Chain A
């Protein structure tokens, strides 16, 4: 068989094992809005935000990425570790980009955790956090 022939007898037979089981992605309308939402930042939450931003690694220039909004809701224990599975909500943009951006946001959170240097006396200000990812590209 020569190289230039496109029919090379190559076939995808089956997917092995399970498919992607990573971040659970729900639609915005399914998400329960937190009861008391007030943008509230202090130095503790600022450092948390910086930690996640540093780890938010996504390919620049993905089709329609500027329309994608990803929200990751997480609960933290007093040691700054994530409790349970963070909840991911994604809206806007084309499907492929949406999934890729949701997974990238989830990776950023998981890579950044556990969050260190969060003041224990201000636990109430960071025990439950919603991160809104919106690429400014």
Chain B
């Protein structure tokens, strides 16, 4: 009883307090639905150093952020404050007056043969530090340090994981069209540090990274027999995947790295198989009198998207990882090929051919929401950045004598050519290391 009255008293008191705090005017509610999607202006100062490493690291950070299309690094000539002590708080007004919404400061030192890089990201309008981190690395790895810093900045501001500390395997092409030499190549996502993994004596196709980035699976015509191989990046050791009577092609790893899924061709048909890399047992997933190829797992490993011409022309199908419940998901005009499941799981990227036109697009795993990102001359082979935001593909512009690798944002904007040593095709983006 007493308790009840006490509660009642509290309710009355709360009501009185609410009345007391009611303003005599109305609070205006304003809805804002349209923003400004321009890249965000960011000031990236040269990290302080006694050598050229500071400015070098800063320029790689700036290039990464600029290429993402989401940031606009401000020309250093416009800077007002000269950062002399990266440990002290900057004069925010000097940065907001040049419209920098964020500021990067830091220093690079070398201690006992090790490189130490520190950086801070500042919210110039909020007058606060957003992140401060330091990294130690061997001096040779300064570019990687720059990519890791760029990833940290990207993630803090966009809320999405970055993708700059990643690499791409690709097929490097050289020589005349009639006698093209192909080599497996590997490079940083910005095209730096490119080097060859094979000597070019055999034709190579469709390299794909393992989830731990240590192996690549690909198809090679070694000994005139088109077969799927596994290459250890660290040792250069190469082995055949399975010993099948026919040609194997179009390999890709399962998300857990335990299996390789690929096509096996026998008597004009191709079906999809998996091979367990430990037990070496193989499992057949499709059995049609058609060409089933380009399998790609969903990131949770429960489903597989693939390409099949069982309906007359190449279309995209999805099935459960055990081969059950095969259903077609692409129904637009033309043919669809090379499906690749997004690391976010919500989209499948594809190549579409309609008339003489090639497009790279995305659709939801149920086939709805098809969206073309880029169209034009011969284009193929999309591959996702590990954050599911950017897609690389290759294109042979009409009139050009060879293909080049391009990247495009999921929004369909910001198409960029990736610099490669020569012609290049079949890119495959590495995962991020956790």
Q: Which residues of A contact B (CB under 8 A)?
A: 1, 3-6, 8-23, 34-41, 45, 48-49, 52-63, 73, 94-101, 103-104, 106-108, 110-111, 124-136
The reply to whether A128 and B25 contact each other, CB–CB distance below 8 Å, is yes
A4-B101 contact in complex given A12-B133, A35-B21, A57-B36, C-beta closer than 8 Å? no
Chain B residues in 8 Å Cβ range of A132: 29-32
The reply to whether A57 and B35 contact each other, CB–CB distance below 8 Å, is yes
The reply to whether A3 and B126 contact each other, CB–CB distance below 8 Å, is no
Residue from B31, B120, B125 within 8 A of A111 (CB atoms): B125
The reply to whether A54 and B36 contact each other, CB–CB distance below 8 Å, is yes
The reply to whether B128 and A49 contact each other, CB–CB distance below 8 Å, is no
Chain A residues in 8 Å Cβ range of B35: 53, 56-58, 104, 108, 133, 135
Bound-state CA distance A104–B125 (Å) is 11
Residue from A16, A73, A94, A106 within 8 A of B134 (CB atoms): A16
The reply to whether B70 and A59 contact each other, CB–CB distance below 8 Å, is yes
Bound-state CA distance A132–B21 (Å) is 22
The reply to whether B126 and A134 contact each other, CB–CB distance below 8 Å, is no
Chain A residues in 8 Å Cβ range of B312: none
Chain A residues in 8 Å Cβ range of B138: 1, 8-10
Bound-state CA distance A37–B22 (Å) is 11
Chain A residues in 8 Å Cβ range of B278: none
The reply to whether B27 and A129 contact each other, CB–CB distance below 8 Å, is yes
Determine the residue in chain A with the shortest Cβ distance to B192.
A3
Residue from B129, B140, B141, B148 within 8 A of A18 (CB atoms): B129
Chain B residues in 8 Å Cβ range of A61: 389, 409-411
Chain B residues in 8 Å Cβ range of A14: 133-134
Chain A residues in 8 Å Cβ range of B136: 9-11, 13
The reply to whether B34 and A130 contact each other, CB–CB distance below 8 Å, is no
Q: Is B329 an interface position by the 8 A CB rule?
A: no
* 9 A-B pairs closest in CB distance: A100-B159, A96-B159, A16-B132, A56-B35, A35-B22, A34-B27, A110-B125, A136-B33, A22-B126
Chain A residues in 8 Å Cβ range of B409: 61
Determine the residue in chain B with the shortest Cβ distance to A5.
B234
Q: Is B137 an interface position by the 8 A CB rule?
A: yes
Bound-state CA distance A37–B29 (Å) is 7
Bound-state CA distance A104–B29 (Å) is 19
Bound-state CA distance A130–B33 (Å) is 14
Chain B residues in 8 Å Cβ range of A3: 140, 193, 195
Q: How far is the CB of A117 from chain B (nearest CB, A)?
A: 16
The reply to whether A134 and B141 contact each other, CB–CB distance below 8 Å, is no
Give 15 new A-B contacts, CB below 8 A, not counting A37-B26, A131-B32.
A4-B233, A6-B212, A8-B141, A10-B137, A10-B141, A10-B145, A20-B129, A23-B126, A34-B27, A35-B22, A40-B26, A63-B160, A124-B25, A129-B30, A132-B29
- Provide the B126-156 mask, 1 if CB < 8 A to any CB of A, else 0: 1011111111111011001100100000011
Interface secondary structure of B, over-half rule: mixed
A56-B128 contact in complex given A8-B138, A130-B30, C-beta closer than 8 Å? no
The reply to whether A9 and B28 contact each other, CB–CB distance below 8 Å, is no
Chain A residues in 8 Å Cβ range of B388: 63
The reply to whether B123 and A62 contact each other, CB–CB distance below 8 Å, is no
* A16, A36, A38: residue with the most chain B Cβ atoms closer than 10 Å: A16
Chain A residues in 8 Å Cβ range of B31: 49, 132, 134
Q: Is B118 an interface position by the 8 A CB rule?
A: yes
A128-B28 contact in complex given A5-B234, A17-B129, A107-B101, C-beta closer than 8 Å? yes
Residue from A17, A40, A101, A125 within 8 A of B132 (CB atoms): A17
Chain A residues in 8 Å Cβ range of B410: 61
Q: Is B433 an interface position by the 8 A CB rule?
A: yes
Determine the residue in chain B with the shortest Cβ distance to A98.
B159
Chain B residues in 8 Å Cβ range of A103: 123, 126, 157
Chain A residues in 8 Å Cβ range of B148: 10
Chain B residues in 8 Å Cβ range of A19: 131-132
Chain B residues in 8 Å Cβ range of A38: 26, 29
Q: How far is the CB of B363 from chain A (nearest CB, A)?
A: 16
The reply to whether B126 and A106 contact each other, CB–CB distance below 8 Å, is yes
The reply to whether A6 and B433 contact each other, CB–CB distance below 8 Å, is yes
Q: How far is the CB of A60 from chain B (nearest CB, A)?
A: 5
A45-B28 contact in complex given A16-B134, A20-B129, C-beta closer than 8 Å? yes
The reply to whether A9 and B30 contact each other, CB–CB distance below 8 Å, is no
